[in-house]
Amino acid sequence: MRKKTFVLVIIALVAISFTSTAQKVDRTSFKGGVHAGLPVGDASDFSSFSLGVDLGYHWGVSELIDAGIVTGFINAFGSEVEYTEGPITVSGDFGDIQFIPVAGALRLYPSYDFKLGADVGYAVGINEGNDGGLYLRPMMGYNITGNTELNVSYINVSNDGNFSMVALGVLFLF
């Protein structure tokens, strides 16, 4: 009988511990923000910089993990390109490249102010001739205030080629 009582007390204490932890850390929230980026790799040949809007909803899975869904809009501004090969010079203007990402998000919180994470999904290409592709966005963030985050990320959209950029953003929790 004493063994059963001891086991029940331990189970009750563990349950109370998990319940109190879940109540202390509730990061479930709507998030919205903006980012600016510089194209890298092949994208830098036909784009000069990008601006974007980030929207998401995250659920606090545990004290250390959030999971959620994200979307937004990315506009990479086209640039004028001049290419010279020997005596021949070719120039042209590239149009803007636009994506709407639809992805799942995962965030890890090694500390209250610092986070690591990634968004993985599909980026829908919305300008003419843009098929979109696999969307991958690893990121690091730092809480400036209780509801404002500064983050740096690498955005990659891959299909037949890669469209990549490094971005700096600010995110607000609502």
Give the model confidence (pLDDT) of 118-165 as tens digits.
999 999 999 998 999 999 999 999 999 889 999 999 999 998 889 999
Q: In which domain, by residue range, is 122 found? A: 27-173
Give the pLDDT band (50/70/90) at residue 76: very high
* 13 within domain boundaries: no
Could you tell me if residue 22 is inside a domain?
A: no
User: How buried is residue 170: exposed, middle or buried, by Cβ count under 10 Å (0-12/13-18/19+)?
Assistant: middle
| Residue 132 maps to a domain | yes
Residue 1 in domain: no
Instruction: Confirm whether 61 is domain-assigned.
Output: yes
Q: Is the pLDDT of residue 20 over 50?
A: no
Length of the chain: 174
Confidence of residue 4 (pLDDT cuts 50, 70, 90): low
Average pLDDT value over all residues in the chain: 86
Q: Which amino acid is at 102?
A: V
How many domains is the chain built from?
1
pLDDT for res 35: 98
Q: Determine which of 1-5, 57-61, 168-172 has the lowest per-residue pLDDT on average.
A: 1-5
Q: Radius of gyration (Cα) for the chain, nearest Å?
A: 22
Which CATH number do you get for residue 58?
A: 2.40.160.20
19 found inside a domain: no
Listed residue (66, 164, 165) closest to 115, CA to CA: 66
Closest CA to 164 of 43, 32, 13: 43
Whether residue 21 lies inside any domain: the answer is no
Q: Is the pLDDT of residue 22 over 50?
A: no
5 in any annotated domain: no
Q: What is the pTM of this model?
A: 0.80
